[in-house]
Amino acid sequence: MDTLIRNIPSRVSRAALLGTVATVLFSNIGTVSAGPAEIAARMHNRIAGVPPSATVLSQMVTMVQANDLNGAALLATQNPNFYNVQLKTFVTPWTNRDQTVFAPLNDYTATVIGMVRDDLDFSTALSDDILYTVNSSGLPAPSISGNDHYATAETNGVDLSTTLKRTTQSATYGLPVAATAGLMTTRGGASAFFVAGTNRAMFRFTMMNHLCHDMEAVQDTTRPSDRIRQDVARSPGGDSRIFLNNCVGCHSGMDPMAQAFAYYNFDATSGALQYTANMVQPKYLINSDNFKQGFVTPNDAWENRWRAGPNAVLGFSGSLPGSGNGAKSLGQELAASDAFAQCQVTKVFQAVCFRAPQTQNDLNAIAATKASFKSGYNLRKVFAATAAYCSGS
């Protein structure tokens, strides 16, 4: 068609030809009723992003005919593109501040993919000493000071579904085990959210990516303000109403929890995550004259003030203390919340069903999927269950 297109005089005509082809086929699809084969193909396309092979389609059709939609969907998750494409696209926006999908593969993304592939408990994703590397020839060694290992793997088209290898951050990066906190302390996470600033970015983006709540949604001005750091101006531009009506809403809850990251910094010069045990990073003490009577961070003790008040709806676990030291225990606190499970299930719903839940049936399906997700936190099964729900009828 390249020759054809080149010879059609106007760009408009070329586009029209392509559009005609697309439109005709589109309209045909829209008018058919779904049979088992179409349901199977649709689930496969939604899970793996590619059409099924004839063999897989046949197997899935058999399962669909047996009313085993879930089984058929799980079969689709065995397609390498579920890991190489679907999950990579699903996770990549979590690993950078721009939330772009067009970012290179990194250890954050690879670790999520590996955990899904291996059916690991995803509630450990924010706290475990875990890392997935790519076991393939021709790759630079994984390094805490660079992403070449993963970027090269992507460039080489390495099949992540077969080459990801589970290891630990402590063994690969030399981090103390106590300093590891799953995805948050991967190099990808650290380079995006521990770089410069005040480390509040790590808290905010973790809330956004794993509890599906940006700070605006969790504003609560009724929390105590005693842990808000000195760098937060209490009278921005001479107007303390801004602080009392807005700033305090986020910082009163965020600052006591972001204190968990007090020993972390991503050094942009060396390109490596730094962890200074028992030594608060200078970034926690900057702009101290903005409010001298503000909180001076002495350690990495965090406290979840949102267990009370309006944000109790996030559903933090009653079996955890709600306070602790360091990122690992904070990660456990966040991942044990109902919001974490709800968030993962909702994200998968949007990725597989292409829309936010809208109907009561959608909500019921999410509730049911969340309930089963909480038993083992198997994210692959969430994809399957959701694809089954959205498979059409």
Partner 1 sequence: MRCAQLSPASRKAAKPVRLGRTAAGWLRHAGAMVALAVLAACSAGGPSTSVNQPTSSTSTANSYTGPAAANADVQAFKVNLWENIRVSSKCGGCHHEGGQAPMFARSDDVNLAYQAAGPLVSFTQPDQSELVLKVSGGHNCWVSDPKACGDTMLTWIKAWVGAGSSSTTGIQLQAPPSQSVGGGKQFPVNATDTGTTGASFAATIWQPILSQFCSNCHRATAQTPQQPYFAPTQAEVAANANLLQDAFVAAQSKIDLNSPDQSRFVVRLRDESHNCWVIPPGTVPDCAGSAAKMLAAIQAYAGGIAVTQVDQNLVLSKALSLKQGTIASGGNRFEGNLVAKYEFKTGTGTTAYDTSGVSPEADLTLSGAVTWAGGWGINVAAGGKAQASTAASSKIADMIKSSGEFSIEAWAAPANVAQNDAYIVSYSGSATTRNATLGQHSMQYEGYVRSDKTNTNGSPPLQTAAANMNAQAALQHIVLTFDPVNGRKLYVNGKFTGDVDKTTGGSLANWDDTFALVLGNETTGNRQFLGLIKFVAIHSRALTADQVAQNFAAGVGERYFVLFDVSGLSGVPQSYIMFTGSVYDSYAYLFTNPTFVSLDPNAVPASIPIKGMRIGVNGVLSLPGQSYSTINTTLGGSTYSAQNGQLLSSVGAVVASDKGVDTDLFFLSFDQFGSKSHVFTDPSAVVVTPTTTTNPTSADLGVKTFGEINATMSVITGVSMTNAAVNTAYMSLQQSLPPASDLSAFVASQQTAIAQLAVAYCTALVDTAASRDALFGTGLDASINATASSFFGVSPNYATNRTDTTGVNTAHRGIVITALVNAAGSTANPNTAAAITTELNGLMNDLPSITGQGSITVSAVTKASCEAVLGSAATTLK
Applying the rule CB under 8 A, the residues between 73 and 102 that interact with partner 1 are: 81, 84-86, 88-89, 101-102
Pick out residues in 204-223 that bind partner 1 (CB under 8 A).
Answer: 221-222
Pick out residues in 145-174 that bind partner 1 (CB under 8 A).
Answer: 156-157
Q: Return all residues near 165 (Cβ < 8 A) that are at least 6 apart.
A: 114, 132, 133, 134, 135
Q: 265 forms bridges with which residues in the sheet? A: 274
Among 122-130, 197-205, 237-245, 333-341, the segment contacting partner 1 (CB under 8 A): 237-245
Q: What is the per-residue binding string for partner 1 in 246-285, x denoting contact by CB under 8 A?
A: --x-------------------------------------
Q: Which two tokens stand for residue 307?
A: 């267990």
CA geometry: angle 274, 123, 353, nearest 5 deg: 110
Q: Which two tokens stand for residue 189?
A: 């996470």
Q: Return all residues near 127 (Cβ < 8 A) that are at least 6 apart.
A: 181, 182, 327, 328, 329, 331, 332, 335
Number of residues that bind partner 1 (CB under 8 A): 92
Considering the complex, state which of residue 86 and residue 332 has its C-beta at the smaller distance from partner 1.
86
> Quick one: which of 124, 240, 325, 372 contacts partner 1 (CB under 8 A)?
240
3-state secondary structure of 143: strand
Q: By CB under 8 A, is residue 322 in contact with partner 1?
A: no
User: Are the C-beta atoms of 268 and 197 separated by less than 8 Å?
Assistant: no
Q: By CB under 8 A, is residue 55 in contact with partner 1?
A: no
Considering the complex, state which of residue 85 and residue 320 has its C-beta at the smaller distance from partner 1.
85
In the complex, the smallest distance separating the C-beta of residue 172 from partner 1, rounded to whole angstroms, is 26
Pick out residues in 15-54 that bind partner 1 (CB under 8 A).
Answer: 15, 18-19, 21-26, 28-32, 35, 37-38, 40-42, 44-46, 48-52, 54
Q: By CB under 8 A, is residue 386 in contact with partner 1?
A: no
d(CA 39, CA 110): 30
Q: Return all residues near 93 (Cβ < 8 A) that are at least 6 apart.
A: 99, 100, 101, 103, 209
Q: By CB under 8 A, is residue 299 in contact with partner 1?
A: no
Among 198-206, 302-310, 332-340, 372-380, the segment contacting partner 1 (CB under 8 A): 302-310
Q: By CB under 8 A, is residue 3 in contact with partner 1?
A: yes
Q: 325 forms bridges with which residues in the sheet? A: 301
